[in-house]
Structure 1
Amino acid sequence: MPSTVKGVISRSKGDPVELVDIVIPDPGPGEVVVDVKSCGVCHTDLLFRDGGVNDKFPFLLGHESAGIVSEIGEGVTDVEVGDFVILNWRAICGICRACKRGEPWYCFDTHNATQKMTLAEDGTELEAALGIGSFAEKTLVAAGQCTKVRESDPAVVGLLGCGVMAGIGAAINTGGVTRGQSVAVIGCGGVGMASIVGSKLAGAGTIIAIDRDPTKLDWAKERGATHTIDSSDLDEDGVVSAVQELTGGFGADVVIDAVGRPETWRQAFYARDLAGTVVLVGVPTPDMELSVPLLDVFGRGGSLKSSWYGDCLPERDFPMLVDLFEQGRLPLEGFVTERIGSDGVEEAFEKMKRGEVLRSVVEF
């Protein structure tokens, strides 16, 4: 029988979010209902609210989540009622050309639940943010969006569902950071901070955190950065020179752009060593364009990569990272700045804009 629960929606572009009644349908074939225990307030949710993703309002926001499977639809075999799961927004298809060549983290046909959740007031269909929509007491997702892991603190491990996984994966999966390498991370929000943690986990020798906010640079030091650069008074060339100065004049082996702007990407491009790697994990907006001399691209060699969701495979990466957290080897708890109720999302957006939090986490 369909459930009516409270959920946080964005009704129109730029307007404050609302906590309203929403209807969760019974799961159909291949679908699962999850009792949401936690949901991180991610910058992507703010992008949805402000119309930076698309204009398919109203949105049911939220996607960085952990919870308990409460209902399963026909044909679901990978999870059972009672399983503790982390939700992911790239459920692989298993049959596209990327999956068939053994690279499912590049799946070109990821899928979501077929049915829509709706507004209780009038039946309007809701567009679930990143196919999840988990600023709600329950949500409906495709079974492949659920990854079973050992039970842990939902508010902490649920962050693997997006930002933390994107950052750790940008360093380890996409950037291929290895022992003794030098890494520079531009932008020390949640994703950038996770890139620093991932670089430390991989054994990087020099880890340089770059940001305009001294508080975030202090946080970066606490989480593994060996050096910091305050870029508030530096132009693009100044940031590049500062990275080179900290790496013997050569530049870093891997530079991760966790901001996603043309100027930060150029900083990353020129701040890397010859034949080094640039990883773009910050998400640009549709209007942004990049100009770099093609001869510089040729002459510097190396790799220019984009990191999709940290190029993760949830069924491989989530359980491993939760185990590392439980063993005390991965300090995920440091990403949770505050725990809030579902009526605190709009205020959490404002704190995010002011740079006061790494993650506010809604607990249900």
Structure 2
Amino acid sequence: MPYTVQGVVARGKGEPVSLETVIVPDPGPGEAVVTVQACGVCHTDLHYREGGINDDFPFLLGHEAAGVVEAVGEGVTEVAPGDFVILNWRAVCGRCRACLRGRPWYCFNTHNATQKMTLEDGTELSAALGIGAFAEKTLVAAGQCTKVDQAAAATVAGLLGCGVMAGIGAAINTGGVTRGDSVAVIGCGGVGDAAILGASLAGASKIIAVDVDDRKLGWATDFGATHTVNSRQSDPVEAIRELTGGFGADVVIEAVGRPETYKQAFYARDLAGTVVLVGVPTPEMTLELPLLDVFGRGGALKSSWYGDCLPSRDFPMLIDLYLQGRLDLDRFVSETIGLGDVEDAFAKMHRGEVLRSVVVL
């Protein structure tokens, strides 16, 4: 029998979200129904509401989630009812050219559930990032469920499903930060702070946080930044160079997603250094750089999609580090809220008042 639940729906561009009745079908082949325990309010959900992703309204929002598998469909072997899981939005296929070359984190054929969740009148819902977890239950592809130690609180475990993983992975997986490196992170929201945490975990000797907001710079220090730069008050490129002996940082992570901050990252890195773009730009943005500078400075210019993570590898490892007290995920949770508070959480996020509001069900 299908499940009837409450979920947070965005019906139109820029319209306030509403709490509505959602019909979740029984899982079909390769699918799973998950009882959601907690889901972070990520900026991507606001992008969906504002029409910044696509216009496939109405959307069932929420994707940064953890919960318990309720039921599985035919052929599912990776998870079973009762498993505590983190949901991910890149279920790898195992068959595309990236997967067959042993690089599944680049999978070119990631997938979601085949069936659609609907409103009571039968209107099909577009699940945010193929998850739709601002709901009491959700339907996903079974490969979107990663089993982890149930000793971890759902409020923090779910954060690995998107923003925190994106930041940690940008530092460790994409940027290859290692012992003794100097690292600069431009933009100290949730993803940027996670990149700082990842750089610290990897043993970076100097971590420079850059933002326009002193409050966010204070948060960055809590996550392991050794130096801070308010880019309203000083040129961030010059400040980063000054803090790195005049050379620039070994790895610069851009967590804003704007051309002007990307240029800052490009010129703030050392020769043969690495720039990692993890901030998400909007479709109309363009970038212009002197090609001679791109050639002459060498190094690597990389984009980090989901922190180049492989959920089956990275989620359990990071949860283990959290349970050992070596990865402070609790610090990301600014507040816990209910399903009816998501619109207020968007406003707080827009004002920069929170790192993460987390919906608890």
TM-score (norm 1): 0.99
1:110 CA drift (Å): 0.1
Q: How many residue pairs align between the two structures? A: 360
- Take 1:251 and 1:32, find their aligned partners in 2: how far apart are those partners? 47
User: Partner residue of 2:252?
Assistant: 255
Q: Distance in 1 between matches of 2:12 and 2:145?
A: 29
- The answer on 1:339 being equivalent to 2:313 is no
Whether 2:358 is the aligned partner of 1:361: answer yes
Q: Distance in 2 between matches of 1:232 and 1:76?
A: 52
Q: Which residue of 1 aligns with 2:240?
A: 243
Q: Does 1:198 align with 2:198?
A: yes
Q: Which residue of 2 aligns with 1:315?
A: 312
* Alignment-mate amino acid for residue 190 of structure 2: G
Displacement after TM superposition at 1:232 (Å): 1.8
Counterpart position of 2:51: 51
SS across alignment from 2:191 = helix
* Structure-2-length-normalised TM-score: 0.99
CA distance in 2, matches of 1:258, 1:9: 27
Distance (Å, rounded) in 2 between the aligned partners of 1:160 and 1:223: 16
1:18 aligns with 2:18: yes
1:276 offset after TM fit, Å?
Answer: 0.1
User: Residues of 2 paired with 1:281 and 1:106: CA distance?
Assistant: 15
Task: Give the structure 1 partner of residue 103 of structure 2.
Answer: 103
RMSD over equivalenced CA pairs, Å: 0.5
Partners of 2:194 and 2:236 in 1: CA distance: 21
Structure 2 distance, partners of 1:247, 1:46, is: 37
The share of aligned pairs that are identical, in percent, is 74
Helix, strand or coil: the match of 1:337? strand
Q: Match for residue 189 of structure 1?
A: 189
Once the two structures are superposed, residues 283-325 of structure 1 have per-residue CA deviations (whole angstroms, 9 ceiling, x without a partner) of 0000000000000000000000000100000000000000000
Residue of structure 2 in register with 1:144 after alignment: 143
1:298 and 2:290 aligned: no
Residue segments in structure 1 that go unaligned for 5+ positions in a row: none
Q: CA deviation at 1:222?
A: 1.0
Partner of 1:34: 34
Structure 2 residue 324 is matched with structure 1 residue 327? yes
The code of the aligned residue for 1:150 comes to: D
Deviation at 1:233, TM superposition (A): 3.3
Runs of 4+ in 1 over 3 A off after TM superposition: none
Structure 1 residue identity aligned to 2:147: K
Give the letter for the 1:252 counterpart: A
Separation of aligned partners in 1, 2:79 and 2:232: 48
2-structure distance, mates of 1:33, 1:209: 40
Q: How does 1:105-184 map to 2 (within 5 A)?
A: 105-120=105-120, 122-151=121-150, 152-184=152-184
